[in-house]
Amino acid sequence: MPSIDEFGLIARLFAPLARGHAGAQGLQDDCATIDGPGGMDWAISTDALVAGVHFLPDDPPDLIARKLVRVNLSDLASSGARPRFLLLSCCFPRAMTADWLEGFAAGLAADCRGFGLALIGGDTVATPGPLTLAATALGEVPSGQALLRGHARPGDDVWVSGTIGDAAFGLEVALGQAPDQSDLLERYRLPRPRLELGVALRGLAHACMDVSDGLVADLGQIAAASHLHAEIRAAEVPLSAAVRARLGGGGLERAVTGGDDYELLFTAPPERREALAALGRRLDLRLTRIGRMMPAGDLRPPVRLLDGQGTALALRRPGYRHF
Ligand code: ADP
Ligand code: MG
């Protein structure tokens, strides 16, 4: 690939093609929005999954289909949108078996039913390369209320839902690099898009995104889009018991920089703490305050992970990069 990185490529070569459409958010947000009828906007996101990159070729086909649907729904969740429609493009190697395809369709059917999605189009082609799948999800959000990455303000608390790092360790289980542990593996294979939370955060959160490339890197996206810096207290990052048991030997770094969490990362002013605690109880979902946003100063990097003494921990890389 070129020497330019993923985000540089998008910013330099693709973003100008948005031709000033405000809802494209400069190609820097989880979803784009388009004015819809009746006081609503369409929130739209597309994501591709490649065998060997986002899932393992021998993963169960129903779970591959469901992961494809859910990573797209996670972007709708991060915008506060309710899912409505799905488009699906499949690039199948010729060797796919009928059993595999049946399993894939069954997984797709289960999640379309479960999330109230109608499959309205797509494309099906053969490829000499690995299995490659792409989906586009369309959701509805009240006009002008989509949650954005760029609306964080100095002094906001930083919050995250659920627990962080399970999927990164689940991948190690899937690769046979760690002892079998089904709860971690499931977090890697079957994300849980936080749709109810996203809807409830409209009007409560300032900025929001979903964590797909790693907590530290993704908070960096909120910081950059909001022209701010951020601090996270390492001890506050919510970890499952299974991840806690793996914290030795660089485990914390793997948890906060590993991908595939699909939790919501959001900012809100301190006066919303009570409301957010109540929301977590209502949804029976852990919501944890992990840090704060601050004016962009001279401190580098823009997101600092602090230990108990307030010293910034050195990270080899903040998150996953495709190139
Ligand atoms: P997410 O992890 O939320 O799916 P990405 O990191 O994949 O977001 O993408 C970041 C932003 O870049 C998004 O706004 C996405 O729409 C945009 N983007 C990524 N690739 C392309 C592309 N090939 N053409 C246009 N926009 C793109
Ligand atoms: Mg996203």
Confidence of residue 322 (pLDDT cuts 50, 70, 90): low
- The whole-angstrom distance between residue 239's C-alpha and the CA centroid of its chain comes to 17
Distance 262 CA to ligand 2 centre (A): 8
CATH number of domain containing 132? 3.30.1330.10
In the chain, the number of structural domains is: 2
Q: What atom in ligand 1 is closest to the CA of residue 75?
A: 3
**Residue 77 and residue 212 share a domain:** no
Q: Does residue 155 sit in the same domain as residue 295?
A: yes
289 and 154 inside one domain: yes
> From ligand 1's centre to the CA of 281, what distance in Å?
33
User: Residue 42 falls within a domain, yes or no?
Assistant: yes
- Test site for ligand 1: of 5, 27, 45, 67, most ligand atoms within 8 A of the Cβ: 27
- Given a cut of 90, whether residue 307 has pLDDT beyond it is yes
Residue located via tokens 């499931």: 186
Same domain, 157 and 300: yes
Tell me whether residue 290 is in a domain. yes
In ligand 1, which atom is closest to the CA atom of 78?
3
Same-domain check for residues 66 and 170: no
CA 161 centroid distance within chain? 11
In this prediction, residue 4 has a pLDDT band, given cuts at 50, 70 and 90, of: confident
- Name which residue sits closest to atom 3 of ligand 1, judged by CA: 30
Q: Who lines ligand 1 at CB under 6 A?
A: 10, 14, 27-30, 47, 75, 212
Question: In this predicted model, what pLDDT tens digit does every residue of 7-27 receive, in sequence order?
Answer: 889 999 999 999 999 999 999
Q: The pTM is what?
A: 0.96
> What's residue 321's pLDDT?
72
Residue 210 pLDDT > 70, yes or no?
yes
Give 247-301 pLDDT, tens digit per residue. Answer: 888 899 999 999 899 999 999 999 999 999 999 999 999 999 999 999 998 767 8
Residue with tokens 């079957």: 190
pLDDT at 208: 98
Q: How many residues does the chain have?
A: 323
CATH of the domain at 269: 3.90.650.10
Asked, for residue 252, whether it belongs to a domain, the answer is yes
Q: Which residue has the tokens 């542990």?
A: 181
- How far apart are the C-alpha atoms of 54 and 34, rounded to whole Å? 29
In a domain, 20, yes or no: no
Which residue owns the Cα nearest ligand 1 atom 1? 30
How many Å apart are CA 21 and CA 154, to the nearest integer?
27
319 occurs within a structural domain: no
Decide if 64 contacts 133 (C-beta within 8 A). yes
Q: Which residue range(s) make up the domain with 118?
A: 31-142
The rounded Å distance from CA 45 to ligand 1 centre is: 8
DSSP, collapsed to helix, strand or coil, labels residue 237 as coil
CB-based contact 78:264 (threshold 8 Å): yes
The residue contributing the CA closest to ligand 1 atom 8 is 30
Whether residue 183 lies inside any domain: the answer is yes
**302 and 153 fall within a common domain:** yes
Ligand nearest to the Cα of 77, by number? 2
Domain end residue (candidates: 124, 142, 160): 142
In ligand 1, which atom is closest to the CA atom of 210?
3
End-to-end CA distance of the chain: 7
Instruction: With respect to residue 313, please indicate whether it lies within any of the assigned structural domains.
Output: no
Residue 311 CA neighbour count, 13 Å, CB half? 3
The three-class DSSP label of residue 165 is coil
> Tell me, what's the pLDDT at 29?
97
Residue 261 corresponds to which amino acid? D
